[in-house]
Amino acid sequence: MKREELIKLVQTELSKCFEMGLRQSPTDAENSEFYRPMIDLDITPKLVDKILATQPQQPDKELFEKVYIRSEEDLPKDVGNYPVHQIGFEPDYVMSMYYNGLSDNFWMQAYDWYLRPLE
């Protein structure tokens, strides 16, 4: 959510709280015109900035290359877990499999493609 959208949302909610407080304590109504601008000018922007500062940063998306296994040259170069598609399974069915460099023949017979991380 963008800062401007968040400010508008927080202003609306704080104004609702402010109005509810006035209904519960009508004697404070005389001071309401003094305090109301503080919601929009002071309190809301500071609160929104604090909210945004505490938001976890989104990690960079990890990108992959889809590698079709047609020969041994297409197999992974590094040992590790790879998302793979097993031959004969639904097209969107992907599972994680460990490649250890010793199971080349198995990989060539069982999987038609895998996802290799891009650097």
Domains of the chain by residue range: 3-54, 64-117
- Mean pLDDT of the 49-55 span: 81
Q: Provide the whole-model pTM.
A: 0.50
Q: Given this model, what pLDDT does residue 71 score?
A: 93
Predicted pLDDT of residue 54: 81
Of all residues in the chain, the percent with pLDDT exceeding 90 is 39
| Residue 41 identity | L
pLDDT at 99 over 90: yes
104: pLDDT strictly greater than 80: yes
pLDDT at residue 38 greater than cutoff 80: no
Residue indicated by tokens 């604090």 = 50
Residue scoring higher pLDDT (25 or 87): 87
